[in-house]
Amino acid sequence: MSIADQGVSNQTKSIRVDLGERSYPITIGSGQISHADIGQYVQGKKALVVSNETIAPLYLQSVLAQLKDKQVDQVILKDGEQYKNLDNLNLILTQLIEQQHDRKTTLIALGGGVVGDMTGFAAASYQRGVPFIQIPTTLLAQVDSSVGGKTAVNHALGKNMIGAFYQPQAVIIDTDTLATLPDREFCAGMAEVIKYGLISDYDFFQWLEANVETLMQRDPDALGYAIEHSCLNKAKVVSADETEQGVRAILNLGHTFGHAIETFQQYTGLLHGEAVAVGMLMAADLSLLSGALSASDVGRIKDLIAAFCLPVEPPSEMQADDFMALMVRDKKVLDGQLRLVLLESIGTAVVTADFSLQGLEKILTKACHR
Ligand code: NAD
Ligand code: GLY
């Protein structure tokens, strides 16, 4: 299936996340930071842009240029997953209080998933909730973290352990920002794109297999299609289950393993998307053990992950016991029972506690002793 066959083009697209009074648009296109009319989502006289020291020099001025009639304050955070914590959240809240932002203020997240998750949580908690806008600048944030209202900071003992479900007013995706994204970060974002193919969209999985080269070249049409398709998949799941009472948990394929890796490395080792890639393969291995996937299915998944230059093995310093110790703290644990997202086929996921613990230990031991 080529992109032309699918009738894809790089025009501006709009997707609605359907959540009743909390519904909002996702706008996807080239030049959105300069042309999307960000001001329409800023109702009061003040706004606070949160970004980081890498992204602000690249894109902050374009955002500010659109908000000349507002008082816009800024918080520029240090760059890195290790700064996604309560101390840095406090910098945002302190700025809001010091600059006397009231309940009509709007927070604007300009950056990747770290900035987006932290800004969203600041918006959820400041004066019990103020509006916020997501302007995601990484592939991962454009296809996943900016959509759906999961906001959080990490704790030394566990990833995203402190947070809230809190939806933005709008998600503005400027695909041009991907031009400055380092290759490793681009590939990390592809892990979450592959995830949608695995959990709910076999046709998309096949399309990804057929378009690795074009995507790796960052062809604008191919990327636009992958971003739009990912957002459509995510919006559908989020609209069905905003606060993860059920089906939304499939979006966490590979995350229980991946979060264990990130926490073990204290958020300074594998990138989130890389850890998820390793975790998705572990979930596929366990699904093979239970007979749901074939060895050839797992081979295809591994090949696609590797084709996007993503890791397929856990960090060499981790043992099976390290995984088990951290996985029991996962947010999907209910009444002390670990639940995992497993695959019934490529394109169908299930959230289940119905797997053998010995099987889990077996695949972890195999992955860690190579
Ligand atoms: P990130 O936010 O750390 O960004 C990755 C790197 O790219 C950073 O160094 C950043 O400064 C840089 N960067 C961002 N945009 C750039 C650009 N356009 N040009 C050049 N450099 C740029 O990481 P991420 O992968 O975007 O997000 C990962 C985070 O997202 C994790 O904390 C994860 O837990 C979270 N997440 C949340 C959800 C959710 O639903 N809320 C979903 C998935 C992931
Ligand atoms: N990334 C998982 C979710 O949004 O639910």
The CA distance from 314 to 370, in Å, is 10
- Quick one: pLDDT at residue 207? 98
Q: Look at 69-78, 81-90, 101-110, 361-370 and tell me which has the smallest mean pLDDT.
A: 361-370
Judge if the beta carbon of residue 154 lies within 6 A of ligand 1.
no
Tell whether 82 and 139 lie within a shared domain: yes
The answer on pLDDT for 4 being more than 50 is: no
Tell whether 208 and 340 lie within a shared domain: yes
pLDDT digits (tens, 9 = 90+) for 299-316: 999 999 999 999 999 999
Average pLDDT over residues 6-24: 82
CA 146 to ligand 1 center in whole angstroms: 10
- Quick one: pLDDT at residue 213? 98
Q: Name the domain boundary from 150, 179, 208.
A: 179
Q: Look at 23-37, 40-54, 123-137, 319-333 and tell me which has the smallest mean pLDDT.
A: 319-333
Tell whether 163 and 280 lie within a shared domain: no
The per-residue pLDDT of the chain, averaged, comes to 95
Tell whether 61 and 194 lie within a shared domain: no
Tell whether 270 and 165 lie within a shared domain: no
Share of residues in the chain with pLDDT > 90 (%): 93
Tell whether 128 and 227 lie within a shared domain: no
- Looking only at the bridges linking them, the beta strands covering 132-136 and 106-111 are parallel
The answer on pLDDT for 3 being more than 90 is: no
- Quick one: pLDDT at residue 168? 98
Q: Which residues of 145-169 are buried (b: 16+ CB within 10 A; e: fewer)?
A: bbbbbbbbbbeeebbbeebebbbbb
CA dihedral 314, 137, 113, 17 (to 10 degrees): -120
Judge if the beta carbon of residue 111 lies within 6 A of ligand 2.
no
Q: Name the domain boundary from 179, 198, 217.
A: 179
Tell whether 10 and 120 lie within a shared domain: yes
Q: Which residues pair with 77 in a beta bridge?
A: 52
Which range marks the domain in which residue 136 is found?
Answer: 2-179
Q: What CATH number is given to the structural domain containing 22?
A: 3.40.50.1970
CA 278 to ligand 1 center in whole angstroms: 18
pLDDT digits (tens, 9 = 90+) for 126-154: 999 999 999 999 999 999 999 999 999 99
The answer on pLDDT for 211 being more than 90 is: yes
Tell whether 25 and 99 lie within a shared domain: yes
Tell whether 190 and 158 lie within a shared domain: no
Q: Which residues pair with 76 in a beta bridge?
A: 51
Q: Which residues of 342-368 are buried (b: 16+ CB within 10 A; e: fewer)?
A: bbeebbebbbeeebeeeebeebbeebb
Tell whether 38 and 56 lie within a shared domain: yes
* Total residue length of the chain: 370
- Among the bound ligands, the one closest to the CA of 233: 2
- Quick one: pLDDT at residue 10? 52
- Among the bound ligands, the one closest to the CA of 151: 1
| Number of domains observed in the structure of the chain | 2
Active site residues: 128, 150, 192, 234, 244, 248, 252, 255, 259, 272
- Quick one: pLDDT at residue 334? 82
Q: What CATH number is given to the structural domain containing 257?
A: 1.20.1090.10
pLDDT digits (tens, 9 = 90+) for 61-90: 999 999 999 999 999 999 999 999 999 999
pLDDT digits (tens, 9 = 90+) for 335-348: 888 999 999 999 99
Average pLDDT over residues 19-42: 96
- Quick one: pLDDT at residue 329? 84
Return the half-sphere exposure (C-beta side, CA atoms, 13 A cut-off) of residue 208.
28
Q: Which of 266, 265, 280, 360 is nearest to 316 (CA)?
A: 265
Beta strands in 145-295 (DSSP E): 150-155, 158-165, 170-174
The answer on pLDDT for 43 being more than 60 is: yes
The answer on pLDDT for 8 being more than 50 is: no
User: What pTM was estimated for this model as a whole?
Assistant: 0.96
- Quick one: pLDDT at residue 102? 97
Average pLDDT over residues 35-44: 94
Amino acid at 175: T
The CA distance from 146 to 173, in Å, is 9
Q: ∠ CA(236), CA(239), CA(244), 5° rounding?
A: 105
Average pLDDT over residues 3-31: 81
Tell whether 348 and 273 lie within a shared domain: yes
**Residue 56, class by beta-carbon neighbours within 10 Å (0-12 exposed, 13-18 middle, 19+ buried)?**
buried
Share of residues in the chain with pLDDT > 70 (%): 97
Q: Is 111 in contact with 78 (CB distance < 8 Å)?
A: no
Helix (H) or strand (E) holding 17: strand 13-17
Q: Name the domain boundary from 120, 154, 179.
A: 179
Tell whether 78 and 8 lie within a shared domain: yes
Tokens representing 289 are 């053990």
The answer on pLDDT for 230 being more than 60 is: yes
CA 259 to ligand 2 center in whole angstroms: 13
